[in-house]
Structure formats: C-alpha cells, structure tokens
Structure 1
C-alpha cells in the first residue's frame, strides 16, 4: 500500500478503492448541483438553472421550477434546498438561490408555493456565493455564505463582524418575522457583530453537513490558489459557535495575508487540507451512515471538483486521516444523502448522479 503525504493530507492510496464503486442513478441532467431526498418522498436533484427534478428509477419529473427567478451560471444559480424538520406536517422547505440582480436570496416555500423571503444579501462580485442550506440537530437553519467574491477577499468581508458574507449564519425560522436569532448565538450580546453570525472566516463554504449520528458539523471551504480545507465543529452547536476559521488571514494552515508571520491567535485550523497538486476546488460530503458499505460507516466522504478524487476521512484518536477512495473523471459538484444514509455523487459536467455502492 502506497503512502503519500501531501499538504497535511495523509493518503493511503487505494486502501478502500477496491471495495467501493459508483452505480448510475440518473443521467441527462442540466448542470446538476445538489441531491437530497424529500422526507417520505423521492430523491430530488437541483439543476443550476433553477429546476428541481424528482427521480424515480430512470424517470425524471419536474418537482419545482424557479428558473424565472434565478441568475445562472458560473457560481450563480439555484444552489441549495433544505426541508424543515417538521416537513411531514408543515410542508415547509427553503431555497438558496442567486436572483436576477445577483443577490443571494433565502426563500421559504410552503406546500410547494413561495411563502416569504427570509433574507436577501447583496453580492459585490459574481463568484463565491456559498449557497448551501442545512438544518442542524438543534432545529435551526444554517446558511453558509461566501466572502463576496473576486479573489483574496478584497473587501474584507470574512473577518468583518458587520457583514453577513464569509460566515456561517444560524437563524430560527419558527419564530419572528421573517425569522428570529437564537438566544444562544455567540454574538447576540456584541453590538459589533450581526447577531445571525454563528461562525466567521470562511472563503466559500461549498457544502457542509451534520453527522446524523453525532451531530458534528463538517464544512468544506474552497481555497484560493494553494490549499483546500475541511473545518470541523463538534456537537452541540449551542456551545460551539463563535469560531473563526481564519480566512483571509489564513488559507488552510498557511498564512495568506500577510504571506508570512500572520497572527494566528484565536483562529481555528482545519482538520484536513490538501494542496493543488491533488485538486483545486473542494466539495464537501457526508459522514457515511448507510448499510450498503459497512467499511465506510463513520467516515467523512468528500471530493474535489477539478480532479474528480473522492476521499474518506476518519478520526484515529490523535488526528484526522484521509484515504483516497476513488479516482474519477467526474466534475463533483456535490454529494447527497438519502433517508437511509446512503451517499450519492453529483457530476456537474456529465449531468449525472451516482450512488456509492460496494464494488462488484
């Protein structure tokens, strides 16, 4: 077994690759960006231009169409969807998309119809829109925002406590109009900070997820020119907020601005990083809790959009260790998770969805 140490990413090449394969689930999609499952319903795929399609075998049916609202493409588009924890009773779900004016919009739907806009955030540039949404085990909605774009965070949003950009936001969609700020958000008593801010110092969080068993949070943050990273927040979220993940002072574990002798005090380093010899744009995934591949249970699955590599990471007792799981030729825009904990891979370039399965 070949051992490679690259940018702090310990890779045991092909350790699991012989035991994992990809099974096609859907093809013929238009720029797919995300997969999830409607509670009690079908798998859903988000297309960047603004359609949500339901999958049933080889059949695809239109579940929602917001193309008239959405600005596409590049890093803009329909970027995220999250179902309310009580969806079975209240039929509430939430979208994150770029509107026709280039702004980030968080919108609530009820019974398939638009109900209200929760939040609109101006975007100074066309890239780094973030875009993901996820409900935490605490029932609050987590909104990951990019730093506003261009390169290097020229307007300093990620470290600016008065800006919602470059942050992880945490809001209560069950109180307030249109929402309330949880009382245990870390900066509610600090007038310098927007109270919605739960964590800061992010460049462009491209997919994050909560481990369905432990409640731990994993955030994949896309790097600038050299380093991609995974940030980690242990449960419970009520006592873990307020962390600063370092951008644009740091890129991964390395000084960015300034390039040397930067001030690291108070910054939380990533648990994993890899250099641009391994890829160029990280895509976050899920801790595997399915049954199809027992060897993967408890491993965090993530990949890279540019290189098509898929890794699995575990805590070994004193550090996080990653293993190369698959080498593909896919443009991995997202991973997805179904109700059973099985994990899917979304291929943006090829317009397809695959399921991780035992190799045959």
Structure 2
C-alpha cells in the first residue's frame, strides 16, 4: 500500500480532488474504518475527510498489523508501532489527532531488553538465560526435583512479597539436573521484579582472573559489580582450580562484603562439607584447612541448602 502522498503527488486541480474523493469513499467502506467509526461515532465523515492522510495511514498500519510478519520484518513506517486515531481538544474544538503506539511485540521486546539490562553474566552460556521459562514445565520435567523446585519458587515469592533478604540458596546435586537453569530462572524472575543480578561460571572466571592481574582496573570493576549487585550467583563452585590469591583476596573479599548485606547463591556438585575440603586446597600451597573454613564461614551461615535430585537432563537430550 503506497503512501497517500505518493498517490496524489502527480495530481493537481480537478484530478487531485477526484482522486482524493475516490480514496476517501473507498476508505469509508473499508471494514477497518467501519470498526473505527463504530468505536468512535464522534469521528463523523466531515472530520474523517478533513484528516484523509491520517485516516489513510491508520488503515495502512492496521492492515499490516493484522497480517503481522514479525517484528524484524515490520512493514510500518515506524517499526513496531502503528497509527492510532483519537479525539482531542484543539482551539476549543474536538479534532482527530494521530499518535504512534507500540504494538504488543514491541512492548514485549522493550520489556525483555529492560530485564536483560538488569542481568550480567560472566562466562555463562547465554542460552541458559534466554530459554523460555514455564513454571508448569519446570516442575513437571522431572518429578524427582519437585521439592527443590518448590523451594526455589518459594524463595522467589518471598522476595517479591517482602523484599530482598541477606540469605541466599545453596543448590547442589548431580551433573545435569538443572541447577544452572533453576538459578537462571530465579535471576530472570527477580529481574522482572526490578532486582539486578550477576551470574558467574566459576571455572572459567577463575582462569580469567589470572589475566586480570595485568589489568587492575578491569579486575576492580568486575569485583565491584559482583559485590554490589542485588543477586550474585556463583555457578558450579567447586569445579574451579583455586590459587591462594584468588581464594583469599578475590572470592573472600566479595563474600565478606556481601554477607549480611545481599544474598549470594551457589550451584555445585558438592555438598557443603565437600566444598569446604575443596576450598581448603590450592594448587600452590596444598591443603590449608583453616583458610577453607574461613571462607565457608562466609557461605554456610548465609544460605539455605537445597538438594536437587533428578536425572541427567543433558544425557536425556543426547
């Protein structure tokens, strides 16, 4: 459908008037305009005729929206928006005015972008954060994990109802049972509620910290983000290779700052006792039990432990 200007720009005089009248008569009988007039009877023929370009644009956009090819291929002049006609007082008279309104797909995209801006991820597969989340499907996918899923759901409701608490969750279980997925779901739901969050895949993050030794500004900025976000998720803790400096001066500093302030969440294949053994050992200094215990004093008292039972979903997909 060409623009009205393109149709009429070659016309002048009687030809212009004749063509514009024909376009107006055609529009009046269009089902889209009939629907508009039924909803807004104050838009009589005289007012519509005086606003022919707006009426033409309105029908153009409505037709495109009713045959929507998707947001990425939106044919409207203003992508993701459509022309909307309303009545407003101008110079003491009610007149037709046009405004551009976002469509449902554009609104959904905007909301999703707003949510994404509240979430930072370090070395986590973005697909884990972008999957569709359906509570019924999450609960029904594997009945063995239902108690743990229920506990995560309760935590989300508690925060939405009563605000952020200093205690987080420690989610542990076998490989492939959906620990990262559940924590990503928690992060997504609370981002919708307005909270900021960071999820960190610990094995790769610990490796990358070595290169950050040469970039103190990047290290400082990364640590500050992890200290100050509302929700921090340390994913797959216990699978990393620890150095004394990373354990004591990076991880220890982050957890020391957050305890009693903001919740930290963990996923792990280890229970808390096994994690303490892991944190007590470094490749450089060997076993240092008191340092592992010191770090656990910043973890154990500030989490509710959730044991996630279930089948290996990765193996089931293969």
Q: Which structure is higher in helix share?
A: 2
Q: Which structure is higher in strand share?
A: 1
- TM value normalised by structure 2: 0.23
- TM value normalised by structure 1: 0.21
Q: Which has the larger radius of gyration?
A: 2
